[in-house]
Structure 1
Amino acid sequence: MTKKKPELAHGIEVRPSPIDGKGCFATLPFRKGRKIAELTGERVSRVEAARRMRGRRRLHICAIDSYWGVDSSRGGNGTQYVNHSCEPNSFLRVTRGHIIIYALRDISPGEELTLDYGVTYHPDTKRCLCGAATCRGTLNRLEK
């Protein structure tokens, strides 16, 4: 039995990123404030998210609230490859238990989609690779 590749969200493609590993790139123009896509994956508890992060170099878990998160490494639609930037072009909003990515400014086809991760589930501080003029240098550790 072959593993079926998940379908990508409309208007994006995944390819190598100059920021880090793979990136999520716009294939359509997105106007400021427009919905880009929903971040999809397996819904997990914060306890399960903490268990999964042990031993992983890359995390694709995003918090919905103080108890639930989405592990987009399982059932993701390509949005799990949106990289961090200290000068992002998109932002997340949780609406009725769904994590939606919106354009922070007008985004042109070919641009890499980026978010400011802020604090993360990573167990330690990670070096930021965004290259932005206002780069903070690190991604912060999530306080317990």
Structure 2
Amino acid sequence: MPSKSPISAGRDRDTLQSPEGEEERSAPGRTRRRIQMRRSDVHGNGVFAVQDLAEGETLIEYKGEVISWKEALRRHPHDPAQPNHTFYFHIDDGRVIDGNVKGNDARWINHSCEPNCEADEVDGRVYIKALRNIAAGEELNYDYGLIIDEPYTPKLLSEFPCWCGSEQCRGTLLTPKDEDEEKKKKKKARKKADKKKAEKKEAKKADKKKAEKKVEKKADGKKAEKKSARKDKSGKD
């Protein structure tokens, strides 16, 4: 069964690579190369910062063909030798982004239990954002947050090994189900706060524009009065 979260098929040293140095150009407001795909010491291919990246930056969109879960099941597996490793990314509306078709370098980003990035879904599109400042040369990673409905037996856990090497490493790509729920709650609360902040900013902008129009209208009124007064004076003369 394909996963409902991205599992990089690039973990195998012998898997097909995308062109070395493929550049992501879709991240908003950027033209300079900031990230690059190359071989990773963690496993297989990885994506690295080419320049210093700031916390909160949108680095790359996870691209691919958007398909139904039924179609994802039909296509599975991408690699029969690694049935648990796919380029699928499950999105909130139940559909799946298949990074193996029309995908980009985002599909090569490795998992970490102590990530420096996160995957953020906005209107059905997934963006990888920096969780902290990232120095040039650092490998990008995020927590895949893989959840499987069946019980987490030692055998199942061993089928999804993690090689991130962090002090917080769980030893598996599978996320504890209670931890996943907590993450979802925090993410939802953060999105709600961000939305409220954006709305407040827009309201402030609208009020400023309204005030400017009021001042402009008042100034136009004064100009009209002066013009009328000059006309009256000219008529009397």
CA RMSD of aligned residues (A): 2.6
Query: How many Å separate the matches in 1 of 2:163 and 2:76?
Result: 20
Shift of 1:51: 2.9
Output the amino acid matched with 2:75: R
Shift of 1:53: 3.0
CA contact (8 A) 2:38 2:46 kept: yes
Task: Describe the SS at the equivalent of 2:168.
Answer: coil
Q: Pick closer, same or farther for the CA change 1:38–1:56 going to 2, 3 Å.
A: farther
Output the amino acid matched with 1:84: H
Quick check: which one's helix share is greater? 2
Deviation digits for residues 71-126 of structure 1, max 9, x if unmatched? Answer: 112112211000000010000111011101100100111111101011157x9541
Query: How many Å separate the matches in 2 of 1:32 and 1:56?
Result: 37
Quick check: which one's strand share is greater? 1
**Paired position in structure 2 for 1:8:** 23
Shift of 1:69: 1.4
Mapping for residues 1-144 of structure 1, pairs under 5 Å:
8-9=23-24, 10-54=33-77, 55=80, 57=82, 58-119=85-146, 124-125=156-157, 126-140=160-174
- Gapped runs of 5+ residues in structure 2? 1-17, 25-32, 151-155, 178-237
Q: Which moved more, 1:77-86 or 1:49-58?
A: 49-58
Output the amino acid matched with 2:98: D
CA contact (8 A) 2:93 2:124 kept: no
Deviation digits for residues 32-61 of structure 1, max 9, x if unmatched? Answer: 111111111111112222333333623111
Query: How many Å separate the matches in 1 of 2:147 and 2:37?
Result: 22
Query: How many Å separate the matches in 2 of 1:129 and 1:53?
Result: 24
- Gapped runs of 5+ residues in structure 1? none
CA contact (8 A) 1:118 1:140 kept: yes
Moved over 6 A (4+): none
Instruction: State how many pairs are aligned.
Output: 139
Q: Please, what TM-score do these two structures have when normalized by structure 2? A: 0.53
Which structure has the higher relative contact order (CA within 8 Å, separation 6+)? 1
Query: How many Å separate the matches in 2 of 1:120 and 1:83?
Result: 17
Bigger CA radius of gyration: 2
Q: Which moved more, 1:104-113 or 1:59-68?
A: 59-68
Q: Pick closer, same or farther for the CA change 1:30–1:22 going to 2, 3 Å.
A: same
Task: Describe the SS at the equivalent of 1:80.
Answer: helix
Q: Pick closer, same or farther for the CA change 1:36–1:130 going to 2, 3 Å.
A: same
